[in-house]
Amino acid sequence: MKIKIILIIAAVAAVLVGVGWFCNEGPPPQNELTLHGNVDIRQVELAFNASGRIAQILAQEGTRVKAGQLLASLDTERLRLSRQQAEAQVAVQRQVVARYVAGSRPEEIRQARAQRDAAKVAVVDAEAYYRRQADLVARNFISQQQADSARFALDKARDQLKAAEETLRLAELGPRKEDIAAAKATLAADEATVAVLQRDLDEGELHAPSDGVIQNRILEPGDMASPQKPVFTLALTDPVWVRAWLAEPQLGRVPVGAHAWVQTDSHPDKRYRAWVGYVSPSAEFTPKSVETAEIRSSLVYQVRVFVCEGQGELRLGMPATVTIPLDQAPPAQGAAPCTDGK
């Protein structure tokens, strides 16, 4: 008898609680859709694009970083010295190219012309000497050998005159265009060497690719780094979205671009503006995180609801509730969801 009374009292209490909840909370609104999911954030593993020993680490776990901020650097002293050597070689080669392009100096041309004139005088003198020697041979005053020596000297003077004239012509023409092109090509190769060394120096620094929060600091100063060894794990703070699942009957009621609201248990009285940024084109089984086996066996479509504000208050994996009004107008093409939803 006592047991029956207790059961009756418990049943009445359950009914009263249900009625009270219904009166206070009421049934879910018919003009909005409620989804449950978890906050999702992209993560990036940051590694040097070069190999070497880490010289300094400038960020800790939990540090908020901006895009382009220096996070770590390698020991690049040897590369810096190599770059200085290559820059000096570039400076030398630039002077070589400048000398070729400028051509012969006026002083060099005047010097070549003076040597040509001197060669002409030497030819005239050699011709006069040879004529005298030939006349003496004809009179039998000297031997034929002396006349031959004078003729050989005349031939030599004429050849030296030709050489002086060609030297003057080369000075007036200046360097060959092939020599100028070769000098410029050598300069380009030296400049490319400097650029490669500068790129190696730049790759000795690790910068944040975008705004985010350092989640893991994996290596320390003194460790050997390489492109295959991450130094940090960076959690991106933008974009932040809630990953939820949509049943097939509701699929046509949630277009991409629709405005939504996101709430979390950490801030139950605060709603974050959001918008539906992605609806999966293919169905999948409900993830195992959903409690009941019946629901887990259902086919659903993944939805990503991007949050417009409050990214600093949302953490990876945080449970969230998404509310999507169903009576809103279709989003305009090219509209900005975060600004148009105010």
DSSP 244-311: EEEEGGGGGG--TT-EEEEEESSSTT--EEEEEEEE-SS-EEPPTTSS-HHHHTSEEEEEEEEE-S-G
Same domain, 216 and 194: no
**18 half-sphere exposure, CB direction, 13 A CA radius:** 6
- Joined together, the tokens standing for residue 163 give 């050489």
pLDDT recorded at residue 3:
53
Residue 115 located in a structural domain: yes
Cβ partners under 8 Å of residue 287, min gap 6? 245, 296
Residue 215 located in a structural domain: yes
Residue-range definition of the domain harbouring residue 316: 27-41+238-340
Domain boundary among 232, 248, 281: 232
pLDDT recorded at residue 142:
78
- Joined together, the tokens standing for residue 216 give 């893991």
Q: How far apart are CA 258 and CA 254, in angstroms?
A: 7
Model-level pTM? Answer: 0.60
pLDDT recorded at residue 191:
95
Residue 6 located in a structural domain: no
Domain boundary among 174, 199, 224: 199
pLDDT recorded at residue 285:
65
Same domain, 89 and 136: yes
Same domain, 114 and 178: yes
pLDDT recorded at residue 24:
44
pLDDT recorded at residue 217:
95
Report the amino acid identity of residue 142: I
Same domain, 266 and 335: yes
CATH code where residue 284 lies? 2.40.30.170
Same domain, 147 and 64: no
Residue 163 located in a structural domain: yes
To the nearest 10°, report the CA torsion of 321, 326, 331, 336: -30
How many domains are there within the chain?
3
Residue 255 located in a structural domain: yes
Buried residues in 184-221 as b, exposed as e (16+ CB within 10 A): beebeebbebbeebeebbebbbbebeebbbbbebebee
Q: How far apart are CA 236 and CA 210, in angstroms?
A: 7
Same domain, 242 and 182: no
Same domain, 86 and 195: yes
Residue 12 located in a structural domain: no
Same domain, 245 and 182: no
Same domain, 124 and 223: no
Residues lower than pLDDT 50 in the chain: 1-2, 4, 6-7, 10-26, 291-297
Residue 335 located in a structural domain: yes
Same domain, 57 and 32: no
Same domain, 105 and 179: yes
Same domain, 115 and 176: yes
**Residue entry with tokens 């699942």:** 245
Residue 11 located in a structural domain: no
pLDDT recorded at residue 267:
83
